[in-house]
Amino acid sequence: MMKINDEDRKIVRRLVLLFKPYIKNIIVITVCMIFSAGISTLIPLISKNIVDEGLIRNDYSLLIKLVIIGFVLVIVDQGIGLLETRFRMFISLMLPYELSKKAFKHLIKLNIMYFNDTNYAEIMNNINMDVSNISRIADRSLFYIVTQVFKIVGGIVGLILIDWKLTLVVLAIIPVKYKVINILARKRQDMFTKYMEVYGDYSSWQGDVIAGVKEIKLMGIDRLKVGEFIKKQRAIIKIDTKMNILDKVNEVSETVMFEIVTGVLYIIGAYFILNARFTVGGLMAFITYCIYVTAPISAILNIGYNFSDVLPSAKRFFEFLDMEKEDDGIINLKRIDCKEIRGILKFENISFKYKDDRKVLSNINFEVNEGEKVAIIGCNGSGKTTLINLLLRLLKPEGGKIYLDGIDISQIKTREYRQLISVVSQNAYLFNATIKENIYPYSRNDLKVYISAKESNIDDFIQSLPEKYDTLVGVNGANLSGGQKQKIAMARAIAKDSKILVLDEATSNYDIESEYQMIDLVVNKLKEKTVLMITHKLQVLKEVDKIIFIEHGKIGDLGTHEELYQRNTVYRELISSLNDNMDYKACNS
C-alpha cells in the first residue's frame, strides 16, 4: 500500500470515524463476509474431489453427493450475500447523505466573506465531488478488502496442503506487485490533486459566466467565452485522459502478472501430473486457491491506488468543515427574550478593513434610540453598506463594539439576534417559489401575508394575477419588475415583525407614489420600530429623526436634515446634486 504522511494519517482517522454510527451494520457485514469466505474456501476442495474421486474413479453416487453439497453451499453463500448487501447498502446510501447534510449545515453558517470569495458553482462542484469520492470508502470493495484476509489465509493453507513448492511461486509475485502499485498510486494521487485544481478553476469560471450571462450578451463576447471554455475543458480532458491511461496500466500489469503465474503453474502442474506427482483435480483446486490468494492480495495492495483520489478530496472536505462559523470562538453566548428587546443601538469606536488592508470604517460612534428613524447617507464607497453588514453580523468589526440594549451583539447567538432584525435591500433576493412563500415562508399564516402585502402596497398587483398569491415569481423574481420585487421584500420584512428594520436603498425602484406610501408606513405605522435606512431620497431624509453623514469611512456629521443642510457644505452639495438628478459632485471633491 502507498505510504502516507502524518497529515494523511489524521485524515484517515477522520474517515474511519465516519463509520462510528454504523458499527452494528459493519459487524453484521463482517460476519457475513467471514462466513462467505469460509464457504468459498471449501468449494475448491469439493471441485477437486468431484474430478479425482467422482469422475476419474467412476464413483457416480459420490459425484452426485458432492455436486449437491456444492450447490447447497452456493445457495447459502448467495443468501449470506443478500443479507450483507442489505446492511452494506444502508451505509453506502446514508454516508453521502450525512456528508452532504453536514456540508450544507456548515455552509449556511459560514461567514459571508466566504461567499464573496467563492461563487456558488465552485462551492457546489467541490462539495459534490468530495462527497462522491469520500463515499467510495463505503462501497463493497472496502469491506471486501477487510474481510478477504480470512480468504487469503484459507487459500494459503489450501495451497500448502496441495504443494508447498508451488505456493512459493504464487507468493513470489506479491513484492513485485506491491512495488508497481506503489509507484502508480503516487502518480495517480498527484494527478488527481492537479485535476481538482483545474476542475475547481473551471467551476469558478463557469459560475462567473452564468452570473454574468447578460453582460456577455450585451458586450458581444460570447465567442471569447466559448474559447475560454474550450481551453479550460481541454486542460481537464488532458489530466482525465492521463488518469484513465494510468488506470489501464495498473489493470494491464495485474492481468499480465496473474497470467504469468497461472501459466507457470499450468506448466509445472502438467509436468507433475505426467510424473504422477499431481492429480488433475489437485491442479484445478490449486489454480482456484491461487485466485483466492492473488485476487485479495491484489485488492489489498490496490487500496492506495483505488483510493488515491479519496485523500485529496477528504483533505479539502475536512478543511471546509473546519472553516470558522459565525459563532465559533464565542463562549457564554447570551440568550435574549425577543419580546423584551427595546431596539436601542450603540456603535462604539467601530473600525473595519478588508483582507487587502483597505480601511473602510474608522472610529464610528453613534446611538439610535428606541423607535427612532435614522438615515445613513454618504458617497459611494464611504462605508454605508459595510456599517449595515456589521450591524447584521455579516462582518466582524476590526475594533470597537456594537450594543443592543446595552448587550454586546457578538455575545448573542447569531440566529436569535437576526430574528430581531428585518432587512430590505436594494437587490433583495426572491426564492423560486410563490409570492405567499416569499413573503412568509415560516407557516401557512395567510392573514399575516395579506396584511403585510397591503401595507407594502403590493396587494392590488398580486390580486390582478391569475394565481394571485400562489403565483411563482421565478428565479430571483425574474417574473417581476424591480419595484414589485422590492415591495414583496418589504412585505416579507413587515411579516417578520422584528423590532429593528433595516432598509438598504429599499425604495430605489419605487415610483413617487409608492415612495410616499412607504414613508408613511415607516414613519407613522411602524412607530414602535427602530429603523435604519441607507437612502439618498430627499423626501425620506426630511422625515427621519436624524441623519448620519458618512465621509471617507468616518462620521462627517450627525443631525436632522435641516441642521445638516444649514451647516454642512458637503452635505448640501450632495443633496443638491441628488435633487437635480446629477452625479455626486461633492463625492469627487
* 421-425 and 407-408 strand pairing: unpaired
pLDDT score, position 107: 86
pLDDT value, residue 296: 64
Query: Would you say residue 586 has pLDDT above 60?
Result: no
Instruction: For residues 90 and 171, give the distance between their C-alpha atoms in angstroms, rounded to a whole number.
Output: 36
Q: What pLDDT is attached to residue 329?
A: 61
How far apart are the C-alpha atoms of 337 and 404, rounded to whole Å?
12
Residue 3: what pLDDT?
55
Per DSSP, the three-state class of 345 is strand
pLDDT band for position 1 (cuts 50, 70, 90): very low
Burial class of residue 543, CB neighbours in 10 A (0-12, 13-18, 19+): middle
What letter would DSSP give residue 443?
S
Residue 147 has pLDDT above 70, yes or no: no
Say which DSSP state 467 is in.
Answer: T
DSSP letters for 203-245 = HHHHHHHHHTHHHHHHHT-HHHHHHHHHHHHHHHHHHHHHHHH
Q: What is the pLDDT of residues 10-56, one digit of tens each?
A: 888 888 888 889 889 888 888 887 788 778 777 777 777 777 777 77
pLDDT confidence bin for 298, thresholds 50/70/90 = low
Condensed to tens digits (0 to 9), the pLDDT of residues 155-194 reads 666 666 666 666 777 777 777 777 777 788 778 878 888 8
Size (the chain), residues: 589
Give the model confidence (pLDDT) of 406-427 as tens digits.
888 888 888 888 888 888 888 8
Among the listed residues 371, 366, 373, the one whose alpha carbon sits nearest the alpha carbon of residue 391:
366
Q: How far apart are the first and last CA of the chain?
A: 69
Task: For residue 402, name the pLDDT band (cuts at 50, 70, 90).
Answer: very high
Question: What is the average per-residue pLDDT within 534-547?
Answer: 86
Q: What confidence score (pLDDT) does residue 295 get?
A: 66
**Segments making up each domain of the chain, as ranges:** 6-321, 426-497
pLDDT at 141: 62
User: Helix, strand, or coil here: 359?
Assistant: strand
Q: Is the pLDDT of residue 405 over 80?
A: yes
Q: 470-524 pLDDT, tens per residue?
A: 898 888 888 888 888 888 888 888 888 888 999 888 777 777 888 888 888 888 8
- In whole angstroms, give the CA distance from residue 527 to residue 546: 15
Report whether pLDDT(584) > 70: no
- In the block, cell 446629477 appears at 582
Residue % of the chain over a pLDDT of 90:
7
Query: CA 336 from chain center: how many Å?
Result: 31
Nearest CA to 261 out of 170, 347, 194 is that of 170
Residue 535's pLDDT band (boundaries 50, 70, 90)?
A: confident
Kindly indicate whether the domain formed by 426-497 is annotated with CATH number 3.90.700.10.
no
Q: For 6-321, which CATH class?
A: mainly alpha
| pLDDT for residue 305 is more than 70 | no
Q: Looking at residue 306, what is its pLDDT?
A: 64
Residue 359 is predicted with a pLDDT of 80
Task: Count how many Cα atoms sit within 13 Å of the Cα of residue 102 in the half-sphere of its side chain.
Answer: 15
In this structure, the strands spanning 345-353 and 399-404 are: antiparallel
Half-sphere CA count of 471, side-chain side, radius 13 A: 16
How far is Cα 226 from Cα 207, in angstroms, rounded to an integer? 14
User: Angle CA(215)–CA(216)–CA(219) in degrees, nearest 5?
Assistant: 80
How much is the mean pLDDT over the chain?
A: 81
Is the model more confident about 9 or about 588?
9
